[in-house]
Structure formats: C-alpha cells, structure tokens
Chain A
Amino acid sequence: MSGDHTGENAALAARVRHVEALLEARGLVDAQELDRALEAFLARASPDNGARVVAKAWLDPAYRARLLADGAAAVTEVGATMGGGLQDQRLKVVENTPTSHNVVVCTLCSCYPVALLGPSPTWYKSESYRSRVVRDPRSVLAEFDFHLPPDVDITVWDATAETRFMVLPVRPAGTDSLDERALADLVTRNGLIGVAPV
C-alpha cells in the first residue's frame, strides 16, 4: 500500500511549510491569509451539510434523482459546495437500498468529501481501515457494531481519482412524521461513509 501518512508525506508537509514561509517573507501573502482561508473552508465543512442533503433526498424524489445524477450540482441546492479546494470535485452519491449497501474508502491515501462530512476521522485514515474494508467489509462493519444481514450485497467505493463519494442511507422506518430538520438530525457522519445504518 502506498500513501502512508508519514515518511514521504511528512517531507512534503515540510516543503509546504517552507514555501508558505517564503510567500510570507516576500510579502506575497499576508501571514494570516492562508490560515483564514483554511478556517473559512473548514467552518463551512460539516457533516450537517451531508445530513441535510440526505434528509432532502428522503423527502423529495425529484431532488433524490438530481442528487444521484450529479451530486456536486445537487448539494449546492442546500448551500453546500464541492468547490473551495484545489479544484472543484465531482461528487458521486451512492444509494443504499434494503438489499444493497455502500461503503466508502480511499485505499491510496485519505480522499474524503470534507465539505459535506467535515474533517475525516482518524480511523478513516488508518492503514487498518483502508486495507481491510476493501477485502472484508462485512467484518469491518461488524467492528462498528453494524451487522448487515448476509443477503445484503456490499459495494466498496475506493476513491482512487478525482471523484469523492457519499452514501445515501436508507430512511429509517417509523420516521414518516418527521420534518426535514428532524430527519437530518438522524443522519450521522458514519452513516454517510457507510459504516453505520444511518
């Protein structure tokens, strides 16, 4: 497996810090400008964005269809965006059904739809999760106390290029009376990755 978060990447991080220091020393960027840009990006990045997308898709079949067809365009309807990083990213939303389940990983590094899910959890970046979930997803999900019935098919989505993935969970039973906000409150970050039912 490549893409370890030490070694070469630590050297890369040192180079980035050095370039940043040079840009500041030569007056090309304000000392706080990069921090402000990062903070602004992260302030908008939250799993609540993904949760609101899911709740809207559960309530509105036309929105659900738009979301599955072009995720990046559809998330702008709830005020989220896949832009703001180095480049606009394609978003593929993958829909769970009672008979098929999806789970997301980046085996090469840790690609993740930060804008919709917030900063990724440490376990998502671990070699253990990245190497094992592609090989034996059912066991990995069980370690999250998520026990899928044997007749449910699993697809693991490995983000090896420029597309980011988000899971659209199955709407839980008994939620017919809930409004969009209450439905969004049911959705968890882990559900959007596919390691929890919702």
Chain B
Amino acid sequence: MPELFAPGDRVRTAHADPPHHTRLPRYARGAVGTVVEVEGAHPLADDRSRGLPAPPQPVYTVRFTARELFGEGDHDVTLAVWESHLEPS
C-alpha cells in the first residue's frame, strides 16, 4: 500500500472530536509532529468499531514534543497514528 508520509515528514493530526470511539487521543488532536517510521497497515479502529468498512491503511509512529501537546514539558511523546488522522504540515 502506498504511504502518503515518510520518516522525517512533518504532519498535523486531525482536530475532530468525534462522538464515537477513536484511536487519536484527545491530548494529541491538532498537533504537529514528525513521522518516525511506518508501523504497518491496519484497519482504522474508529470505523471498525462502528461496523463500517475499514480497509487496512498505513499507521505511523509520530513523535511530538510535550510543549506542542501540553504547552510545557521537556520530553517527547510518540503515538501510533492512522493515516486518516494525519495531514501534511
């Protein structure tokens, strides 16, 4: 499956606050980070949990600074983020 992003790319996570299950944690919404690696391709849990078609799509490890996520702190946080939840930054 072709991937939209590659390691080193700057990406921004989605802003949406959906009424259903989502794997994009609230604390990481609308945040800019850097792609570390491609983890593989998996069905988007947000869709699968609602019984919707969920073909596998790329999942990325994305690194964020604590300052970007929380406005403070000197550490980093990495998350696994489905491609649907990312846009170029």
Q: How large is the interface on B (under 10, 10 to 19, 20 to 34, 35 or more residues)?
A: 20 to 34
Q: Which residue of A lies closest to B24 (CB)?
A: A160
With both beta carbons as reference points, the residue of chain B lying nearest to A163 in the complex is identified as B39
Q: A90-B39, A90-B40 are in contact. Are A161 and B76 (CB under 8 A)?
A: no
State whether the Cβ of B26 lies closer than 8 Å to any Cβ in chain A. yes
Docked CA distance A2–B49 (Å): 14
- Does B54 count as interface, using CB distance less than 8 angstroms? no
Chain B residues with a Cβ under 8 A of chain A: 21-28, 39-40, 42, 45, 59, 61, 63, 66, 69-70, 73-82
- Are A156's CB and B81's CB within 8 A? no
Q: Counting chain B CB atoms within 10 Å of each CB, which of A2, A107, A159, A160 scores highest?
A: A160
List A105-146 residues whose CB lies under 8 Å from chain B: 107-108, 134-138
Contacts of A163 in B (CB 8 A): 39-40, 61, 80
Identify which of residues 89-113 in chain A touch chain B, using a CB-to-CB cut-off of 8 Å. Answer: 90, 92, 107-108
